[in-house]
């Protein structure tokens, strides 16, 4: 049997490892695979083509998610990225919003086997509808591919993000404007976000996700 060699610890429970002569980004996990990723030893492969957060990390940028924080996650889909955040937040929890019933069904299977995910079948553009359930959070992660995603992010921050809290917004140029140059779309989104947040860092998600950027903000 081949051993897993830890090459680097990136943040709590996130590692770069070598296994069978290949390098993998992984999270330490006691759970079974959720989306076709490999599991070796105590690690689950974190596939950058499936998760923009993994792409950001492999491109050299990391947000230090402490294991005890609370996150509001907008656009959970079937829970690919949430599953890895759940491995990281061993003592915290994730309120995860998704409005489409189809991916939500698979997401529920994930939430049932883990104790730190609170799944909510809700529309992220209407935070008032889950204001009675979600408490103040340390961080908001958004991946909803919507034209008005900055506005939706800001609205959720007003409701739930503590002062000094952080956020990550994944932006897909084509979802916002299908004809404009991606660089123009990104400029527009950054200036919208700057109205309510300070921009800590932004960057590309190539080669894993073309014409996308991540934006890390502080409230
Ligand atoms: C790109 S996918 C998210 C992938 C996921 N974040 C991951 O990395 O595993 C975008 C998801 O956002 C959801 N979405 C879009 N607009 C939404 C809204 N207003 N409220 C809730 N979910 C929304 C879509 O249904 C879709 O499942």
Q: Where in the chain is the domain with CATH 3.30.200?
A: 5-47
Q: Where in the chain is the domain with CATH 3.40.50.150?
A: 70-218
Mean pLDDT of the chain: 96
Over residues 158-169, the pLDDT tens digits come to 999 999 999 999
Q: What angle do CA 179, 183, 185 make, to 5 degrees?
A: 55
Residue 72 makes CB contacts below 8 A (sequence gap 6+) with 94, 95, 97, 134, 137, 139, 140, 141, 156, 160, 161
C-alpha of residue 160 to centroid of ligand 1, in Å: 19
Q: What is the pLDDT of residue 87?
A: 98
Q: Classify domain 70-218 at the CATH class level.
A: alpha beta
* From 142, 144, 146, 211, mutation site for ligand 1 pocket: most ligand atoms within 8 A of C-beta: 144
Atom from ligand 1 closest to the CA of residue 50: 8
Q: Which of 124-128, 172-176, 190-194 has the lowest mean pLDDT?
A: 172-176
Residue 160 C-beta-side C-alpha neighbours within 13 Å: 31
The fraction of the chain above a pLDDT of 90, given in percent, is 95
C-alpha of residue 97 to centroid of ligand 1, in Å: 8
Q: What is the pLDDT of residue 1?
A: 55
Q: What is the pLDDT of residue 99?
A: 97
Q: Considering only CA atoms, which of 215, 166, 161 is closest in space to residue 193?
A: 215
* From 50, 52, 77, 106, mutation site for ligand 1 pocket: most ligand atoms within 8 A of C-beta: 77
Mean pLDDT to the nearest integer, 181-202? 96
C-alpha of residue 181 to centroid of ligand 1, in Å: 23
2 pLDDT exceeds 90? no
What topology is assigned to 5-47 in CATH? Phosphorylase Kinase; domain 1 (3.30.200)
Over residues 53-91, the pLDDT tens digits come to 999 999 999 999 999 999 999 999 999 999 999 999 999
Q: Label residue 143 exposed, middle or buried (CB < 10 Å: 0-12, 13-18, 19+).
A: buried
In the chain, at which residue ranges do the beta strands (DSSP E only) sit? 5-11, 14-19, 22-28, 39-40, 43-45, 70-74, 93-98, 117-121, 137-142, 161-172, 198-204, 212-218
Q: Which two tokens stand for residue 215?
A: 């934006």
Over residues 115-155, the pLDDT tens digits come to 999 999 999 999 999 999 999 999 999 999 899 999 999 99
pTM for the model = 0.97
C-alpha of residue 212 to centroid of ligand 1, in Å: 15
Atom from ligand 1 closest to the CA of residue 125: 19
C-alpha of residue 7 to centroid of ligand 1, in Å: 33
Mean pLDDT to the nearest integer, 203-219? 97
C-alpha of residue 4 to centroid of ligand 1, in Å: 33
User: Is 139 within 8 Å of 85 (Cβ atoms)?
Assistant: no
Q: Residue 198 CB: number of other CB atoms within 10 A?
A: 10
Ligand 1 pocket residues where CB is under 6 Å = 51-52, 75, 77, 80-81, 97-100, 103, 123-125, 143-146
User: Is 48 within 8 Å of 55 (Cβ atoms)?
Assistant: yes
Higher pLDDT, 177 or 117: 117
**Protein residue with its CA nearest to atom 17 in ligand 1:** 144
């Amino acid at each position: 049997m081949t051993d897993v060699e830890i090459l680097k610890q990136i943040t709590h429970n996130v590692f770069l490892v070598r296994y069978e002569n290949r390098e993998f980004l992984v999270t330490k996990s006691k759970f079974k695979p959720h989306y076709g990723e490999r599991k070796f030893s105590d690690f689950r492969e974190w596939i950058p083509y499936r998760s923009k957060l993994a792409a950001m990390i492999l491109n050299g940028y990391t947000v230090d998610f402490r294991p005890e924080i609370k996150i509001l996650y907008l656009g959970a889909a079937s829970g690919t990225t949430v599953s890895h955040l759940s491995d990281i937040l061993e003592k915290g929890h994730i309120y995860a919003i998704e409005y489409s019933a189809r991916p939500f069904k698979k997401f529920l299977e994930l939430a049932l086997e883990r104790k730190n995910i609170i799944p909510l079948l809700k529309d992220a553009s209407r935070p008032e509808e889950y204001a009675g359930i979600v408490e103040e959070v340390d961080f908001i992660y958004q991946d909803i591919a919507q034209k008005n995603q900055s506005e939706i992010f800001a609205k959720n921050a007003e409701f739930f993000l503590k002062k000094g809290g952080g956020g990550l917004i994944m932006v897909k140029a084509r979802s916002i404007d299908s004809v404009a140059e991606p660089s123009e779309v990104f400029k527009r989104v950054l200036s919208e976000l700057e109205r309510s947040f300070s921009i800590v860092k932004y960057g590309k998600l190539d080669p894993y996700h073309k014409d996308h950027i991540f934006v890390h903000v502080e409230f």
